[in-house]
Structure formats: C-alpha cells, structure tokens
Chains A and B, each alone.
Chain A
Amino acid sequence: MNLDRFVARNQEQWQALEERLKVVEQHGPQRLDAEELHDFALLYRKAADDLAYARTFFSDSKVTEYLNDVVGRIHPLLYNRSRRSPIDVVAFFRRDFPRTFRRSWRSITTATGIFVLAALVGYLGTWQNPSAARRILPAHVVQSVDAGRMWTSDVYAMAPGDYLSAKLFTNNIAVTFTLLALGMTGGVGTVFLLGLNGLTLGAAGGLCHSAGMGGPFWSFVAAHGPLELLVVFIAGGAGLELAMALVAPGPWRRGDALRLRGERAVKLIVGSMPLLVVAGVVEGVISGGAPLWVVGRGYDLARVLCGLTLVGAVLSYLLLAGRGKARIAAAGQSLPRALMSR
C-alpha cells in the first residue's frame, strides 16, 4: 500500500476521531454520549494501529507526525490514572495525607529521634554551661535573657499579630520545604538542619532554665510548640524518605525508589502546610501579646491546654483518618471509567 492509498483509506476515520477529540479536549468526555464514547475508544485504537503501520512504512512522512500527535493527545486522556483535576483536595486530606503519614512512620520517628537528641544535648549543655549558649544562639537572644526578659517580647511588642503570624508560618513552611529538598543530599542536609533546629531550641530552653526563666520559656512555647514540632518531625521524615531512596533503595532501582518515596515526601509536606498556618496563627496571636506569664498561672494552663489539644487533635486525625478499605475515588472523570460505568 502506498502513502496515498493509506491516507485515502483511513481519512474518514481520522476525521471522525479528530472531531471527537476536539469535543473531549474542549468540554471533557462527559459531552460524548455512550455510543460516541465507544466510537472514540475504537477510533483511537485504530489510529494507534495506523501509527504503528505508518511508522514502519512511511517513517518520515507528515502523516506519521500527524498520527503521533493525535495518539499522543488522546493517550493521556485514556490512560491517566488520576482524575482530570490536578489535585482532589478533599480526598487528599480525608485519606491520602493521613495514610501517607502512617506509611512513612519509620522516617518520621527517625527524624523525631534526631531532633529530640539534638535538643537534649542543647538543653543539658547550656544548662550545665550557660556560656555555650553564646556560641549557639543569636546575640540578641542571649542579651535579652541576661537582662531577664524574653527576647520574644520585643518582637511581639513591635509587630501586629496578623503580620507576625504570616511571617512565622511562611518562614516555617519554607523550612519544611528545605528539609524535604535536602533529602536529596543523601540525608546529610536534612539531618544537619534537624539537628541544628533541635540544638537551638534545646539551647534556648537550657539558657532560660539556667537564668531562672524556665517558666516564661515554657509558657511561650506551650501553645504553638507541640504542633510546630510535630510538623518539623513530619517534614524531617519527608526529607529522610528521599534520603532512604538514595541510600537504601531496597528492592527497587534508585530512580524508581525516588519516585515512590518522592510522592510520599511531597504529600507529607503539602499536607503539613495548613498545620503550619494554624501553628503560626497561634504563635502570633496566643503565644505572644502581653507577657502573659505575669498575669498568672491560669493563663499558662490555658496555653498548655491549647498546645496539647491542638497536637492531640492533629495526631488523632493523622492516626485514625482514612482507615478501612481503600476506596477508589469517585468515577466519572477519566474516560475508561466513563466507559465502564455505562
């Protein structure tokens, strides 16, 4: 068969296919009725078949290029495993995120361990030897504590709560992003950043403790600290997921392991973002303001309760949500499902 006859023989089917494709690209597969959908799938197979033929016999022709283009446009419509919209927010937070959290428990626990260890070292180190704090903490923090006040009170006195909240959560989210990305250094960067943060927090606590300001310190971190730390552990775990794919890919090739764990890692980070917004608002509005520890123990208790409630609620969500049989997300979007459901 020569090219002309090939074209002549198939052009009607190609035209029919292209008509349907235009409808699907503009309005989605829902626009086609049952028969048209069926035709569309058949015509696509035929075009794929024609492409294979054309590639063999007319490899350099325009027709091959055309068929490659058409098949290339339809293939993702037919075989896309996800739905048409790039993200299903409801399904993600109802099932996907908590499941990913539970699936990544090893990495998250490891990240927690690294952070806690570093924090303990920082705490005990500065408690025993307050001068060490001068080497770890920023100068203004040390000076404030020397003067007997919390370094945070200056910040809270100057900046309004909403601005501060926005500053805090964008900054914290950027830190979780970095924790994830640094996983690609084989985990060295993630472990370093986790350790540094733990050490700093521990050193600040130790310094306050040794200066007799343990109360104000705990009262400051009580409300937002637990949730914020939980998210840091999750983000550290996300970085370690990537690191594990590089260092110990297990039965997979490194590339495949990366893709597998990369998906987990990014889901952990994306899911953490709203948690950090909440923690940031709490830190900007509740943790600061007037030096509340002066007002009385009752306020401290309220903040401890706030912190524990938040972290308790989030943890039980992460541990309990989306359990039970894996349900396939609602049909009706992708073509094969649309075909099957009819």
Chain B
Amino acid sequence: MTTLTTIETPERVALTYDVAGLGTRVLAYLVDLAVRAAVLLLVTIAFFVFYEQEGFAAVTSGVRAASVVGFFLLHWGYATLFEAFWNGQTPGKRLMGIRVIKEGGFPVSFFDSALRNLVRVVDFLPVFYGLGIVCVFLTQRHQRIGDLVSGTLVVRQSPARRPSLDDILAAHRQADADASQRLARVPLTVEQFEAIVEFLRRAERLTPDTRQRIAGKFAAPIRRSIADSKSLRETIRADELDDEALLALVAHARQSQAEPPAGAAPDDGERRP
C-alpha cells in the first residue's frame, strides 16, 4: 500500500511524494538503535582494553568527561545531526530508503530536525512510541507529533527506483523504430515515393494553394491505406496531421528503412512477415 502526498510548486504543478509507512519507519528506527548500541559496545570494549595500559590513569578524568559528552551526543544528537547534515537521513533511514523532508518538499534545516527529534520524548509516551504511532495512523501524511510540530514528513526515496532518462529514451527510440518500420510499409510505388520526396524538397517554393493541392493529392491514397490497415491506424493518428506532415513522416520512414542505420535492432528480421 502506498500513500501519496502532493505538493504544489509555484508553477502550479503538482509534485507527488510517496509517504513512508509505519513499518519502514520502525525498521529504520531499530537499525539506528542497533548502530548506537554497537558504538556504545565498541567504546566500552576499547575502554576495558586500554584500562590496564600504563599512563591511562593520568588521562582517566579527561576520558570520563569526554565519554559523558559522547554519550549525550549519541543519545540526543544522533538523529538530529544525521538528518540535518546527511540529506534528511540517519543510517537506518538510508538503509530503508526513506528520508525526512519539509512539508514544502525542501530539505530539513538543523532546527527542523532538532525540533522533531526533541519532541520524540512525547511521541515515546506512554510506552514505546504509543502516542507517535497513534498520531501516524490518524494523520493524512503519516506524521508523528514531532513531525507535526516541525512541519516535516518522512518519504520514500530509493535511488534504485529512480527512472532514468536514458531508459525512457531508449524505450521510445525502440517504439519510434517500430513505428517507422510499420509506416514504411504504406504501399507506395517507387515513382510515387520519389515524387513525394521531390515535392517535399520544393514545397517551400510553391504558392500556398499549389502546395496544399499537391500535398492533398499525394496524401489521399496514403490516408486510405492507413484507414484500411489496423496496425497502421494504431501507429499513427493520420487525421491529426496535415497532409504535408503526413507525407514527411511516411517519406522519412521509408527512407530510413531503405538505408538502415548500422546499429539496427537484431530482431528486425523476425518482425517482418
């Protein structure tokens, strides 16, 4: 199940975001908990390893003071600092492919992130995020209390699913190639084809009347054969094009099929009847 939320840009264009669900967020939270526990464990082990070493006693007081500040930062600063300086993500959120953004679609500032993580204390009440979870269920954008106060929300963002322009263009080039292949099958004699090419070449120099008349004459049989063939009807919406544009398309398709580009798709042969 996905929940989409829409943000309207100043261009009056709607942007959609995929709001992260409770399960993903809980998992991200558990990962972060594990990361913090691991850090704590490593530091403790290191402490005991060095404890026996000579000269350790001399620095003990400084180490103790530093460990107090370190523990404080790990407890209170972990989420805030990561989210503010790491694109709205903690390690857990990154792993789960979610991130925190401002309601307007902006990155969170330090203060936004600090506020949502300080109010966490209230979300946690009465036990294990009871209020926070209820609040996530009740709000349209699945926000816990901290999110509501700071005007933030957690959205899904997995770069693996980001659509790439190259893929889209490749798909459409294939579609284009298929279309022009079918268009090239519009029945035309060699003479007709050459006449059309000649006409297109000279069209600029003709008077508008003549130009339209000749184009209409050439286009009429083509329109008929398109209307007769189901596959052609699906390929091209001839009635949306004026005569000359139609001629240009058909001529171009025929030409490109006559001299196929070097990297033509290998399955060309199979598609031909």
* A2-B61 in contact (CB<8A): no
A18 at the interface (CB under 8 A from B): yes
Q: Give A282 Cβ to nearest chain B Cβ, in Å.
A: 15
Query: Knowing A258-B148, A263-B115, A266-B111 touch, does A177 contact B179 (C-beta < 8 A)?
Result: no
Interface size range on A against B: 35 or more
Chain B contact residues: helix, strand, loop or mixed = helix
B191 at the interface (CB under 8 A from A): no
Query: Knowing A7-B168, A7-B169 touch, does A79 contact B10 (C-beta < 8 A)?
Result: yes
* B169-A266 in contact (CB<8A): no
Chain A residue nearest in CB terms to B163: A66
Question: A18 vs B115: C-alpha distance in the bound complex, in angstroms?
Answer: 34
Q: Which residues of A contact B69 (CB under 8 A)?
A: 166, 170
B33 at the interface (CB under 8 A from A): no
Q: Give A309 Cβ to nearest chain B Cβ, in Å.
A: 25
B72 at the interface (CB under 8 A from A): yes
Q: Give A80 Cβ to nearest chain B Cβ, in Å.
A: 5
Question: A269 vs B15: C-alpha distance in the bound complex, in angstroms?
Answer: 34
Question: A135 vs B268: C-alpha distance in the bound complex, in angstroms?
Answer: 92
Partner of B165, one of A14, A86, A162, A258: A14
Among the 9-residue stretches A45-53, A103-111, A115-123, A204-212, the one with 4 or more Cβ atoms under 8 Å from chain B is A45-53
Partner of B9, one of A14, A79, A184: A79
Q: Give B208 Cβ to nearest chain A Cβ, in Å.
A: 25
* A72-B105 in contact (CB<8A): yes
Q: Give A194 Cβ to nearest chain B Cβ, in Å.
A: 16
* A184-B176 in contact (CB<8A): no
- CB within 8 Å of A: which of B134-149? 145, 148-149
Chain B residue nearest in CB terms to A74: B9
**Residue interface bits A71-114, CB-to-B below 8 A is 1, else 0:** 11001100111100011000000000000000000000000000
* A76-B105 in contact (CB<8A): yes
Residues of chain B at interface, number, CB under 8 A: 57
Query: Knowing A15-B165, A49-B11, A167-B68 touch, does A87 contact B105 (C-beta < 8 A)?
Result: no
A199 at the interface (CB under 8 A from B): no
Partner of A4, one of B66, B109, B179: B179
**Residue interface bits A1-42, CB-to-B below 8 A is 1, else 0:** 011100110010011001000000000000000000000000
* B61-A162 in contact (CB<8A): yes
14 pairs, A vs B, C-beta closer than 8 Å: A2-B237, A4-B179, A51-B13, A55-B14, A65-B163, A69-B162, A160-B64, A163-B64, A166-B65, A177-B121, A258-B149, A266-B114, A266-B115, A270-B111
Contacts from B to A (Cβ < 8 Å): 7, 9-17, 61-62, 64-66, 68-69, 71-72, 76, 84-85, 101, 104-111, 113-115, 118-122, 145, 148-151, 162-165, 167-169, 171-172, 175-176, 179, 237
> What 3 A-B pairs have minimum CB-CB distances, sorted nearest first?
A87-B110, A181-B121, A266-B115
